[in-house]
């Protein structure tokens, strides 16, 4: 029998390790939770919900398109597509999807910059058949040669659809304008040109590259699984043991982390004008900030986004909306990859606001200068923490598949194992130094700014437009004078101030 590890003990039948701690869950949650670790070091969170109509499973691989090789953009995404094309145990191409659909379920997968997540839902009595077919993708996929060209075309079609989506176009432009050697610069979707290698008649080289990628990156010790079912924790644990123990542990070590910011902030503010497909006006600002992944028990980024993004009296949004310059404003943390954090401010401008974008920027940067004063009496943090704790304590049930996906992705974060569900909300503590670190990054000189619209004909914008490589988005860079910081009038300044105490905040919902 294996010896006991710190925080873990062996199951009674000695099949796997069990987490010894207590997982924090909402007060209203009647489900049972268990965390196990198989001999191949694959962790599985078990959720027993006897009242559920559907069961769900999600597996997070921990590797995304930031790890794509430079000569084959989109390989991680392509591997996601081709993984579904049959396994040694179930060689018929659509066996998995047909089984799930036959029993009232659905399948899906997604590839992001830092991870790839596979998941399905199915009527609760058919979980065992679903998990057998699903788990085989991670220990014995066929990557059938007959499917390669078709799946290349499927990825290419997906990319073509993205070509007309301004959100995708702007996202890729942010990436393409980052430092050329930074992994965030990569093109994650892929297309026919990037994925077809060698003999394009049969796709044999492309298939081999996918097989090599799977061999080099899909590793049990990096994978995290969530299983939601009506069965007991013991039965769910046995299902996980029987099916996921076969996944090979290649001893690849920790997941890759990128600590460098995606662009240099030493050259002053960067301003780009960007042409959109739709008739819309947007202003986006991004600031590289210290990595936030390990700071979840202090939530400095949430503190900043709460202040900048609020919409009450004194807020940036209230001023801009009252003056007819903006219709929406949001501020929040953007994880550009494992170890790479950005603080983003996104504003939907009116036509009038587009013409006065400099005033909009002036309002934003003036408000940022107010943030240090919020640290002198941090009641904002106490209010934020209280509301977050009340919300978690009374959280409603998510749909099983969305819940499983969210948890499996959290498992590949830096959360303590007892915080996988709560994400540490019960232990949030105010940390002035971490908040000050972010504020120091949110300066005029360190900002990267997009002003996006379908047309700039009425504005004095340079005409030397360039085209982004992957989506053809037109953009041009223009200097931004520090004089814009003094555009606001004294009356405008008086309308910008931090939110006051909320006297109506409840202690609980009891």
- What HEC string does 438-505 produce? HHHHCCHHHCEEEEEECCCCCCCCCCCCEECCCCCCEEEEECCCHHHHHCCCHHHHHCCCCCCCCCCC
Q: Give dist(CA 45, CA 47) in Å, integer.
A: 7
Helix axes of 357-370 and 300-309: crossing angle, nearest 10 degrees: 130
Half-sphere exposure of 445 (CA within 13 A, CB side): 5
Buried b (16+ CB within 10 A) or exposed e, 113-146: bbbbbbbbbbbbebbbebbbbbbbbbbbbbbbee
DSSP bridge partners of 273? 451, 476
Q: Give dist(CA 182, CA 22) in Å, integer.
A: 39
Where do we find the tokens 């106490």? 382
Catalytic residue of the set 24, 43, 80, 284: 80
Cα 395 versus chain centre, distance: 21
Residue by residue, DSSP assigns 319-366 as HHHHTTSEEEEEEEEEEEETTEEEEEEEEEE-HHHHHTHHHHHHHHHH
Buried b (16+ CB within 10 A) or exposed e, 475-499: bbeeebeeebeeebeeeeeebbeeb
Query: Catalytic annotation on 51?
Result: no
Q: Give dist(CA 353, CA 344) in Å, integer.
A: 19
Give Rg (Cα) of the chain. Answer: 25
| Angle, CA 223 vertex, CA 217 and CA 224 arms, to 5° | 160
Structure tokens at 36: 């196990």
- Could you tell me which residues come within 8 angstroms of residue 377 by beta carbon, excluding any fewer than 6 positions away? none
Q: Give dist(CA 46, CA 383) in Å, integer.
A: 33
Catalogue the active-site residues: 80
């Amino acid at each position: 029998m294996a010896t006991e590890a710190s925080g873990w003990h062996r199951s009674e039948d000695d099949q796997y390790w069990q987490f010894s701690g207590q997982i924090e869950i909402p007060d209203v949650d009647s489900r049972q939770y268990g965390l196990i670790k198989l001999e191949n070091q694959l962790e599985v969170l078990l959720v027993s919900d006897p009242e559920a109509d559907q069961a769900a499973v999600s597996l997070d691989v921990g590797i995304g398109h930031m790890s794509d090789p430079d000569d084959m953009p989109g390989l991680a995404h392509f591997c996601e597509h081709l993984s579904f094309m049959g396994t040694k145990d179930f060689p018929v191409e659509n066996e998995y999807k047909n089984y799930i659909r036959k029993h009232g379920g659905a399948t899906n997968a997604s590839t992001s910059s830092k991870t790839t997540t596979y998941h399905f839902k199915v009527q609760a009595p058919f979980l065992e058949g679903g998990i057998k077919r699903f788990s085989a993708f991670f220990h014995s996929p066929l990557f059938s040669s007959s499917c390669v060209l078709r799946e290349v075309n499927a990825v290419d079609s997906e990319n073509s659809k993205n070509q007309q989506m301004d959100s995708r176009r702007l996202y890729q432009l942010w990436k393409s304008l980052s430092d050329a050697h930074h992994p965030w610069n990569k093109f994650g979707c892929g297309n026919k040109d990037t994925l077809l290698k060698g003999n394009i008649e049969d796709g044999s080289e492309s298939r081999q590259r996918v097989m090599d990628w799977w061999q080099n990156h899909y590793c049990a010790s990096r994978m995290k699984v969530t299983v939601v079912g009506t069965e007991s924790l013991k039965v769910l644990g046995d299902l996980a043991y029987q099916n996921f123990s076969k996944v090979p542990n290649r001893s690849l070590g920790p997941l890759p982390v990128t600590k460098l910011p995606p662009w240099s902030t030493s050259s002053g503010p960067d301003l780009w004008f960007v042409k959109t497909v739709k008739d819309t006006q947007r202003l986006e600002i991004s600031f590289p900030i210290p990595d936030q992944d390990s700071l979840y028990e202090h939530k400095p980024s949430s503190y900043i986004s709460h202040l900048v993004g609020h919409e009450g009296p004194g807020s940036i949004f209230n001023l801009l909306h009252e003056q007819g310059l903006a219709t929406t404003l949001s501020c929040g943390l953007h994880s550009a990859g494992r170890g790479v954090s950005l603080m983003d401010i996104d504003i939907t401008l009116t036509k009038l606001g587009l013409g006065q974008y400099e005033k909009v920027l002036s309002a934003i940067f003036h408000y940022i200068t107010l943030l240090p004063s919020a640290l002198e009496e941090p009641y904002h943090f106490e209010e934020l923490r209280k509301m977050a704790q009340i919300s978690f304590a009374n959280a409603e049930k998510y749909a099983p598949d969305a819940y499983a996906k969210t948890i499996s992705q959290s498992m590949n974060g830096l959360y303590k194992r007892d915080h996988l569900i709560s994400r540490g909300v019960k232990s949030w503590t105010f940390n002035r130094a971490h908040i000050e670190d972010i504020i120091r990054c949110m300066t005029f000189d360190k900002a990267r700014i997009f002003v996006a619209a379908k047309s700039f004909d009425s504005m004095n914008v340079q005409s030397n437009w360039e085209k982004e490589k992957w989506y053809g988005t037109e953009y041009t860079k223009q200097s931004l004078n520090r004089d814009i910081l003094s555009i606001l009038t004294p009356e405008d300044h008086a309308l910008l101030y931090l939110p006051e105490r909320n006297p109506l905040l409840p202690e609980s919902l009891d």
